[in-house]
Structure 1
Amino acid sequence: MAAAATIALFGAGGKMGVRLAKNLQASPYAVRHVEVGAAGQQRLQDELGIHCVSVDAALDGANVVILAVPDTLIGRLAAEIAPKLLPGTMVMTLDAAAPFAGHLPERPDLVYFVAHPCHPPIFNDETNPEARRDFFGGAYAKQSIVSALMQGTDEDFAVGEAIAKVIYQPILRSYRLSVEQMALLEPGLSETVCATLLDVMREAMDEVVARGVPADAARDFLLGHMTILGAVIFKEIPGQFSDACNKAIAFGKPRLMRDDWKQVFEREEIAESIRRIT
Structure 2
Amino acid sequence: MENEKKEKGSYSPYISTRFQDILHKYYSDKISTKRAEQQYIYVFNAVCNHAKCDYLDISKSQINAYFSDISKNATIKSTNYDLSVLRAVSRYMDENADAFKIEPRYLDLFSAIEVSFPDMQFKLEALPDFSSIDKVLAYFKEKGDIVGFLSCSMVLRTALTTNELVTLERNMFLQDANGNYGIRMKLTDHAYRFVKLPDDIVELINRYAKQRVDNQSSFFLNKKGKAVSARALQNRLHEACLACEVDPFTYNDLRIISQALMLKEGAPLGKVAEHVNVKNVSWFFRYNRVIESLDDSPVDYSHLKIVW
Give the number of the structure whose alpha-carbon radius of gyration is greater.
1
TM-score (norm 1): 0.28
* Larger relative strand fraction: 1
TM-score (norm 2): 0.26
Higher RCO (CA 8 Å, separation ≥ 6 residues): 2
